[in-house]
Structure 1
Amino acid sequence: MVELIQAQAERNPQATAVRLGNTSLTYRELERRSNQIAHHLIGLGAGQDIPVGVCLRRGADLLPVLLGIWKSGAGYVPLDPDHPVERLRHMIGTSGCRLVISRTGHLPALEPTPGCRFLLLDRERADVDGAPATPPATRIEPSHLAYVIYTSGSTGAPKGVLVQHGGLRNYLLWTVQAYAARGHGGAPFFASLAFDLGIPSLYTPLLTGQPVHLLPDPLPAADLGDALAAGAPYSFVKLTPGQLNLLSFDLDPEQAHGLAGIVIAAGDAFPTALARRWRDLAGPGGTPVATEYGPTEITIGNSGQPITDDPGTELVPLGLPIPNTTMYVLTDQLEPTPVGVAGEIHIGGLGVARGYLGDPALTADRFRPDPFGAPGARLYRSGDLGRWLPDGTLEFLGRVDHQVKIRGYRVELGEIRAVLRDDPQVRDAVVLATGTPSRPRGLAAFVIAATGQPMDVDRLRAGLAARLPDHMIPADFVAVDEIPLTANGKVDTRTLLTLL
C-alpha cells in the first residue's frame, strides 16, 4: 500500500493528506516524515515481520509513524493509551515488541517492560529528522506482517491476530471503489487505533489523494455529531451502529443529508429499524447508508453493500462478499446448510489472517483447511450463526459461543469472568450481555461473594478497570447465592437475566 500512497505524493505533493484542527500535512510532508521514521527504525533493528508497538493519540505523528513502520518492513501493534496498564504491558510482552513508539506522557503506563526500547518522539525528534527523507530499499510481500491487533480472549487475556499485507491490500482496494469513489472529501478517523473498524478511514483516503481528518482525542460520544458536521462533507464515514444511532438523534436533517457520500455501519448487529430511521432523517438524495461485516481474523471486512430497500428482517443482512473472498454457512461437519437452515459462518479468501500469535492450537481450531478452495487455502470459523435467505442474502442470527459486541468492540465474556474471579471477594461470577441483537447491548455481572458479606461494587469496578478497557466493565452487578443451571448443566442465563 505504501507505494500507492507514494504515487499520490508524487502526483499531488501539495494536496492535504492529514488534517487535524487548524494544522495539516501535505502528501509531500507525509512522505518525507514516514521515510525518515522508516530509516530511523531500520537503524534500531526494525525489519520484516518484526512487531513495533505504537502508543500514540490521534495527532500529526500518527500516520507518518504507521507508514514508516511499514516502510521499514515491520508490522505495527496498536496500543491504546486509554487501555489499562496491565493490558498494555501484556500486549507488549506477548507480541514480542522490542521497540515501542510513543511519547513521554505515556511512558509510565508502558514501563517496566524488560528488553523493550522506547522511541519517544518528543525526546528524539532531532534524531528522526536527521534521517534520510528518501524511501528505504525495502520490499513488502503479501505474506508479510501488516499489524498485530488484539481481541478479547476467553482465557482472561486478550489474544493477538496476525494480519498480513495481502489481505489488507485486497480489502482497502475494495473500499477505494465502494467508499472513497463517492466523493473527494476524505474520511474522518475517530476510532481507537486498537479497533480495526477505523482502518479504512486511515488509509483509503490516502490511496485516492484525499485527506484523512483526525478528530479530537479524546472525543466524548456526545460531541461526535458536532465534530463530524464541522468537517463535512466526506467521501465516507465508517462507524458502529451504536454511533449511527447517536447521530440519528444528534444531527438535524440538513446535516445528515450532506454528511458524506456514504455512511457505513459495521462492527455490531445492525438493526433494520436504525437503517430506516437514518434514511428518513437524511431524506431523498441524502447520505445513503451501507452495512459491512467481518471479524478481525479476516482483515476488517469481508462483505457489505448499500441498503436501498427494507430487507424485511430484524437485522440488516450481511451483504455480498468482497472480491477474492468467500462465505459459507456450514454444519459442524463442514457441510453447506440448505437455504433457511442455520449454521456457522465460515470465511475464506485473501483476507484470512495468518492466525493467533503464539497460539498454534487455537489457530488450528479456528483456521481450518478449506474443502472448497485451492490446496493450502483455509477457512476461518467465525463463531457467528447465519442462514441463507431465498433471495440469496445472508442473515445474521447471533453467536455460537459467548462472544458479543459491545459498542462495536468484540468482547469475550469469559475474559471478564476470569478477571472477576481473581478478586478475593468473589467466589464465582457469570457475565452476560443484556438487551437483544436489535437493541444496544450492555453487560451485567452476577457475583457470588467469597465471604458471604455484601459485595463492594466500587471495589469490583476498580479492580476490573485496572485490567480491562472501559467497554468491558459491566454496567450492573448483581449479588447471587448460586449460579443457576439448566437441566443439561449449562448456566441458566434466562433465570439470571430476570434478576436485573
Structure 2
Amino acid sequence: MQAFAISSRSLRGFAPEVTVEPNPWQRFGRGPQVAPEAPLIHRAIEAQAVERPEAVAAQHQGQSITYGELNRQANRLATTLLEHGVFPGDHVALFVERSIPMLVGMLAVLKVGAAYIPQHVSITPAAQLRHIMTVARVRVVLTLSELAQAIPLDSEQQCIHLDEVIRADTVAEDELNIGSATSSADSLCFVLFTSGTTGLPNGVRVTQRNLCNILLTSPGDLGMRPGLKVGQILNIAFDMAAWEVLGCLAHGATLLIRGKDIAQTAEHCDVLIATPSILATLDPARCTQVKVVALAGEPCPQPLADRWAKFCTFYNACGPTETTIVNTMQHYRGSGALTIGKPTPNNTVYVLDEAGQLCGPGEQGEMWAGGDCVTAGYLGNAQLTRERYQPDPFLGQGRMMFRTRDLGRWTADGELEHLGRVDDQVKVRGFRVELDAVSAALESAPTCERAVTLKLDSRHLVAFVYPASTDVDAARACCEARLAYYCVPSLILAVDEIPLTSRGKVDKRLLLEWAVAHQAEQTDGGQPVRVQA
C-alpha cells in the first residue's frame, strides 16, 4: 500500500507538500470500513421505542421509564422547544443533574435538530455556566425546577423546567415522532466544553456522523443489547457519558443512573464505562455481574487491567473529546502488552515525527487522528481550530485530521502504544522525562496498584503510589532498575486514595498541594506524614 509523507510546513496549515512513497506501515493506521446501523442517533433510539415500547429504558433511585414513554415525553418536550423558537442548528443548554428528565431533554433536543450542551449544575461554577451560554449564544436552558436558581440567566434567555413539562400530560400516546427534516449526518448532536489553556473551557462540536460512527459500530457498541444493564456513572459534561447514555439507548439496553454511590450501581451492571481512576475504586469481587468494561480518559495501569480482564471483556481505549469519545480500542485479554489498540471503524491514526513524516514500528511520534471521528472544530474559536485541525493529506477529499498531542508508536503487530502526552514530557535537570513512563515503572512494584508522577520543580519529580501499604522502597527500586537516574522521583508518597476531579480523572492540582504540604512539614522539622485523601 502506498502512503503519503507530509512536511512540517503542511502541518502548519499550508498547502500539503505531498510525495508518494512505498510505506508498509500506513496499513496499521486504517480502521475497517463499516457502515453504522443508523445515520442519526435519535432515530436509533426511536426505533427501539417502536420495537419494544414496554421495555425499561432507564432506572434512577426507584423510578423507571420505558422506551415508549421516553419517546413520548421527548416528543412532548420537542413540541415545547419548537414553541420557544428553537430551530435546527441552535444550541440548547442542558443544565441538570443525573435524572430521567435529563434523558428526555437530550432526546428532545436531538429531535428538533438542535445541539444540547450538558453541564452538571451543582458542581459547575456560575461563571463557567455564564461563559458557556455566552459563547454558544444560548437562548433556551433546560433544567430541573430545584436547580433553576443556580443558573445565571440574562433577560433574553428562557428557562424550561423539564420536570414540569414532563408532568403536563397533554400528548396523545400515538403521536408521530417529531423530527427535523433538515437533520443530517453533519448536524451537531452536542457541544462539550473541555478545559482550556486560558482557564475558560473550549466547546467541541460533535456531529451525528461522529457519534453514530463510534456508538453504532463494533467494538464501540460494546455488545450493548436488550436485556443488558449499562451504568451511567460519569459526569454528564464528560464525553464518555454520551457513550453510556446514547450508546445504551440506541441499542435497547437499560440505563442504570447512579446516585451518590458509584459502587452500588456498578454492582448491578452488565456494561461499565469508566476512567481508570473510577474503576480503581470498585471491588471486582462485588461486580461479578459485569460482562464488559471499557476504560478511557487516562492511561490504564497494568495491574488494574489484569484484575478485571480475568472475568470480563475488557477494552482499553483512547481518544480526546475532539475525536469523539475514543478512536482506538484494544480488547485486552489479560496477557501480553496492554496497548490502546487499533483505530476504530472508519477512522485513521497517523504517528508522525517532528518533520511530519510517518513513523515506522517502534519509532515514537505524535498521533494525529483522521476519519469520521474528527469533530467539527471548536465553537467560537477559529484560531484554535486552525491550530489543531488540519487538512488530511492521507485521506484527501477535503477531510480533516486532528492533532491529539498524544505520543505513541506502532508495535510490530500494528497496535498503538500510548507514551503519554506531549504536555507530560517535562524537563528535569535539563533532561526530558515522560511522566507516564515513570508511573508505569513504579506500578511494576508488586504492592503498587496505581502511581501518578508529577513535576514538582525544575529539578525534582514527585510520585504518589496507591495503596498506602505500598512498599515505597521497592517501588523506587523498580524505577531505578528501568529508568535513568533523573527519572527517579525525589519524593514518593504512599496515599490512602488517589483524588479525582468531577470528571473522574486524577486531580493533579490537589496532589501537588499535598506534595507541597508534605515538604513544608519536613522543612518545619515535623515528623514524616502519611498523606490522606
Deviation at 1:22, TM superposition (A): 2.2
Asked if 1:350 is matched to 2:350, the reply is: no
Indicate the SS of the match to 2:326.
coil
Asked whether the equivalents of residues 176 and 204 of structure 1 are also in contact (C-alpha less than 8 Å), the reply is no
Q: 2:439 aligns with which of 430, 436, 439?
A: 436
Q: 1:228 aligns with which of 253, 266, 272?
A: 266
Equivalent position of 1:60 in the other structure:
100
Asked whether the equivalents of residues 51 and 75 of structure 1 are also in contact (C-alpha less than 8 Å), the reply is yes
Q: 2:317 aligns with which of 292, 313, 317?
A: 292
Equivalenced residue count is 411
Asked whether the equivalents of residues 292 and 319 of structure 1 are also in contact (C-alpha less than 8 Å), the reply is yes
Amino acid of the residue matched to residue 307 of structure 2? R
Asked whether the equivalents of residues 218 and 345 of structure 2 are also in contact (C-alpha less than 8 Å), the reply is no
Equivalent position of 1:189 in the other structure:
232
Amino acid of the residue matched to residue 310 of structure 1? S
Q: Distance in 1 between matches of 2:108 and 2:71?
A: 9
| TM-score for the superposition, normalised by structure 2 | 0.71
Q: Distance in 1 between matches of 2:388 and 2:252?
A: 38
Asked whether the equivalents of residues 226 and 254 of structure 2 are also in contact (C-alpha less than 8 Å), the reply is no
Q: Deviations over 1:200-237 (max 9, x none)?
A: 21122222222111111xx2xxx4223321x24x1x21
Go from structure 1 to structure 2 and tell me whether the alpha carbon gap of 1:295 and 1:62 turns closer, same or farther (over 3 Å shift): same
Q: 1:278 aligns with which of 303, 308, 312?
A: 308
Deviation at 1:60, TM superposition (A): 1.8
Deviation at 1:187, TM superposition (A): 0.5
RMSD in angstroms over aligned alpha carbons?
2.8
Q: Runs of 4 or more off by more than 6 Å in structure 1?
A: 432-435, 442-446
Q: Distance in 2 between matches of 1:181 and 1:131?
A: 31
Q: Deviations over 1:323-355 (max 9, x none)?
A: 110011012332101221111101000110000
Deviation at 1:27, TM superposition (A): 1.0
Indicate the SS of the match to 1:63.
helix
Amino acid of the residue matched to residue 436 of structure 1? S
Asked if 1:323 is matched to 2:345, the reply is: yes
Q: Deviations over 1:20-73 (max 9, x none)?
A: 132211111011001111111011111212110011111121111100000011
Equivalent position of 1:335 in the other structure:
357
Q: 2:422 aligns with which of 381, 395, 400?
A: 400
Go from structure 1 to structure 2 and tell me whether the alpha carbon gap of 1:273 and 1:330 turns closer, same or farther (over 3 Å shift): same
Equivalent position of 1:200 in the other structure:
243
Asked whether the equivalents of residues 189 and 201 of structure 1 are also in contact (C-alpha less than 8 Å), the reply is yes
Equivalent position of 1:34 in the other structure:
74
Q: Distance in 2 between matches of 1:265 and 1:19?
A: 23
Equivalent position of 2:383 in the other structure:
361
Deviation at 1:291, TM superposition (A): 0.9
Q: 1:381 aligns with which of 376, 387, 403?
A: 403
Equivalent position of 2:191 in the other structure:
148
Q: Deviations over 1:146-169 (max 9, x none)?
A: 111011111121111011111101
Equivalent position of 1:94 in the other structure:
135
Q: Distance in 1 between matches of 2:454 and 2:103?
A: 34
| TM-score for the superposition, normalised by structure 1 | 0.76
Q: Distance in 2 between matches of 1:444 and 1:100?
A: 41
Equivalent position of 2:177 in the other structure:
135
Alignment of 1:481-500 (within 5 A): none
Asked whether the equivalents of residues 214 and 221 of structure 2 are also in contact (C-alpha less than 8 Å), the reply is no
Q: Distance in 1 between matches of 2:227 and 2:404?
A: 35
Asked if 1:172 is matched to 2:221, the reply is: no
Asked if 1:244 is matched to 2:282, the reply is: no
Q: Distance in 2 between matches of 1:192 and 1:198?
A: 6
Q: 2:336 aligns with which of 308, 311, 317?
A: 311
Equivalent position of 1:269 in the other structure:
299
Q: 1:161 aligns with which of 204, 224, 227?
A: 204
Asked if 1:209 is matched to 2:252, the reply is: yes
Indicate the SS of the match to 1:68.
helix
Amino acid of the residue matched to residue 21 of structure 1? Q
Amino acid of the residue matched to residue 157 of structure 2? C
Q: Unpaired runs of 5+ in structure 1? A: 405-431, 447-464, 481-500
Alignment of 1:1-40 (within 5 A): 1-40=41-80
Q: Distance in 1 between matches of 2:454 and 2:124?
A: 18
Deviation at 1:176, TM superposition (A): 7.2
Give % identity. Answer: 30
